[in-house]
Amino acid sequence: MPIGLLVDSLATSVLVGSLYALMAVGLTLTMAVVKLPNFAHAELISTGAYAALIVSLALSGSPLLVMAAAFVVAALVALLTHWTVFRPLSRRKSSTYVLILASFAAGLIIRYLLFLLADTLDLFDKRIQVAQEVWLQAGPLTLTNIFFWVAPTSILLVVALSLLLNFTQLGRQMRALADNSTLAAVVGVPTTRVVNLTWLLVGGTAGVGGALWGMYTFVDPMLGWLAILSVFAAAVLGGLTSFSGAILGAYIVAFAENTLMQFLNYSFGLDFSFKPAIPFIIIILMLMIRPQGLTGLFDGLRRDAQMER
């Protein structure tokens, strides 16, 4: 494989991996604290992307403003789905299947509302209006300001979220809920408030993920749906409830989808249309062979960020 292709695909892997990490930590948080494999997470991502796009078109292309808008709107939508869909269902002790089905339905509704919105305002395949400029040119590697916004912002948010989880009152309460919700309630964790805040955080990070994705490529109502199974693959690689595992998983998935795919295409002529199958195969193999995720493999390195048990 020529060095140019390799370097280029590695840069893409880092970028996409950071985005997946940001999306996957939110999904992992939902699975740990709320015990919900939320497929509507996809639409939280798309919602953030559209909030960012509309703000960038109507107000300004300042990346910070755009991301703040994405955070707020997606966080509110997440809280709304919790109140209208998931909380009533889990109060009725619905099975996980019913919750998954409900998350599909909620996602479907949001996705096609976004389609209607995009249709009326003509917002298909638009780029978030952040001016692009080349910031680094070194040999075969060209990095724009988008790269320097997307990757570090994602990493920063993931780190912030980890710190919050490990060193704050709210984080401890979230982990207590993840561990044993009955016990947490008994010892005085304000469960309702903590769950609401969890949803806001989950929605917000998903929204920022969508906004950053929209700066990197295009905004489309299908954006979140097309990313969600890769994000699930990242979470599965991390054992579904481990934060650090999900982050590691995100980079592995991104690497497989970009660098490995590029290599398979170059060396074996594998068509790029097979690329979406990569995260699917990862999910199937992991769930069957190692459902506890990869983190157990590095027990020495593991910190208590792992929320399982």
Partner 1 sequence: MNIDLVASSISLLTFFGISAIIALSLNIEYGVAGIPNFGQALFVSLGAYTAGVTYTRLMPLLAGRTPLEPCASGNMAAALALRGEILKSMPLVALGNFALTLLLAAVIGGVVGLLASYPALRLKEEWFLGLVLLVGAETVRIIVRGWPPIICAHNGLSGISPPFGWLPTAQIRSLAFAGLVLAIAALCYWYSERLVRSPYGRLLKALRENGSVAAGLGKDMARVRGQVMVIGSAMAALAGVLFVTNLGFASANDYGVALTLDIWVMIVLGGLGNMRGALLGALIVTLLDRFTSVAAIQFNMLGIDIEFNYVRYILFGLILLLMLRFRPQGLWPEPRRTTAANRVLAEQAGAAGAAASQPGPAE
Residue 118's contacts (CB-CB under 8 Å, 6 or more residues apart) are 50, 124, 220, 221
String of contacts with partner 1 for each residue 68-87, x by CB under 8 A: -----------------x--
Query: From the CB of 30, what's the least distance to partner 1, in Å?
Result: 14
Does the protein bind partner 1 through residue 136 (CB under 8 A)? Answer: no
Stretch that binds partner 1, among 68-76, 100-108, 137-145, 244-252 (CB under 8 A): 100-108
Q: How far is the CB of 183 from partner 1 (least distance, A)?
A: 21
C-beta separation of 245 from 294 below 8 A: yes
Q: Which of these, 228, 198, 208, lies nearest to 43 by C-alpha position?
A: 228
User: Applying CB under 8 A, which of residues 1, 59, 64, 116 lies at the interface with partner 1?
Assistant: 116
Q: How far is the CB of 281 from partner 1 (least distance, A)?
A: 7
In the list 145, 162, 191, 292, the residue contacting partner 1 (rule: CB under 8 A) is 292
Q: What is the amino acid identity at position 106?
A: A
Point out which span in 97-105, 123-131, 178-186, 195-203 binds partner 1 (CB under 8 A). Answer: 97-105
| Binders of partner 1 in range 248-287 (CB under 8 A) | 271, 273-274, 276-277, 280-281, 283-284, 287
CB of 32 to partner 1, least distance (A): 13
d(CA 48, CA 208): 6
Of 187-246, binders to partner 1 (CB under 8 A) are 229, 232
Binding residues with partner 1: total (CB under 8 A): 39
What is the binding site for partner 1 (CB under 8 A)?
37, 85, 88-89, 92, 94, 96-98, 100-102, 104-109, 111-113, 115-116, 119, 229, 232, 271, 273-274, 276-277, 280-281, 283-284, 287-288, 291-292
